């Protein structure tokens, strides 16, 4: 069982490489980048995993701040489980102190949902994580909505946000980063009541 002194591992899911940087599927990386800015850190290559990491503290100064490892797996989305499990083992993070931030098709753009455990809903990053370490980690689900018309899901998630969405994207990424901080500081139920729209 985890306790208050255990570190948290915050994983932004996405694909490495500049060609994917602004894709809907990479919103987890966008949130991780913003959190790294907030703690004043720069991502660097992890020693023991195929990932980039930043270590620091999130939350108000004093006993309420939490030790965190922010991570971006560099393995491509469908292989995220290997790097995340390696980081979990290296930093000795309990599974219920792992938070995956990811895009979610079944929620409209501009909506967030926080939860602990559950299925992967066809998301390849979650599928890989769950296969590696079971389902009992937190998720911050960032709504991207469903593809229009007959567009394939794979094409939709690997496209950049629309020009309309981009007007609001920085605000929504900021809100998702706030939700991560709230989860760590206030616990799941309070964070859900604030951010589950």
- The rounded distance, in Å, linking the Cα atoms of 187 and 197 is 17
CB atoms within 10 A of CB 47: 9
pLDDT tens per residue, range 109-150: 999 999 999 999 999 999 999 999 999 999 999 999 999 999
Q: Is 183 exposed, middle or buried (0-12, 13-18, 19+ CB in 10 A)?
A: buried
DSSP 9: E
Q: Are 21 and 81 in contact (CB under 8 A)?
A: no
- The rounded distance, in Å, linking the Cα atoms of 16 and 14 is 7
Residue with more model confidence, 6 or 177: 177
Q: Is the dihedral of CA 58, 52, 93, 90 positive or negative?
A: negative
pLDDT tens per residue, range 60-113: 787 778 999 999 999 999 999 999 999 999 999 999 999 999 999 999 999 999
DSSP 1: -
Q: What is the pTM of this model?
A: 0.96
Beta carbons within 8 Å of 165's beta carbon, 6+ residues apart: 109
- Which segments of 107-151 are extended strands (E)? 112-116, 138-143
Beta carbons within 8 Å of 36's beta carbon, 6+ residues apart: 42, 43, 54, 70
- The rounded distance, in Å, linking the Cα atoms of 153 and 165 is 18
Give the active site residues: 25
pLDDT recorded at residue 1? 58
């Amino acid at each position: 069982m985890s306790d208050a002194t255990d570190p948290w591992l915050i994983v932004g899911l996405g694909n490495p490489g500049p060609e994917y940087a602004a894709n809907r599927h990479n919103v987890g990386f966008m949130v991780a980048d913003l959190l790294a800015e907030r703690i004043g850190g720069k991502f660097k290559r992890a020693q023991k995993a195929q990932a980039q990491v930043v270590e620091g503290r999130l939350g108000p100064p004093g006993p309420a701040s939490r030790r965190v490892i922010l991570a971006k797996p560099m393995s491509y989305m469908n292989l995220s489980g290997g790097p995340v499990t390696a980081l979990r083992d290296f930093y000795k993070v309990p599974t219920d102190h792992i938070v995956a931030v990811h895009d979610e098709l079944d929620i409209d753009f501009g909506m967030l949902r926080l939860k602990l455990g559950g299925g992967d809903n066809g998301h390849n990053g979650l599928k890989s994580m769950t296969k590696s370490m079971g389902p009992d980690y937190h998720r911050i689900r960032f709504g991207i909505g469903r593809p229009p018309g007959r567009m394939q899901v794979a094409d939709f998630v690997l496209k950049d946000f629309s020009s309309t969405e981009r007007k609001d994207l920085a605000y929504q990424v900021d809100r998702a980063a706030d939700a991560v901080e709230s989860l760590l500081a206030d616990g799941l139920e309070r964070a859900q009541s604030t951010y589950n729209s």
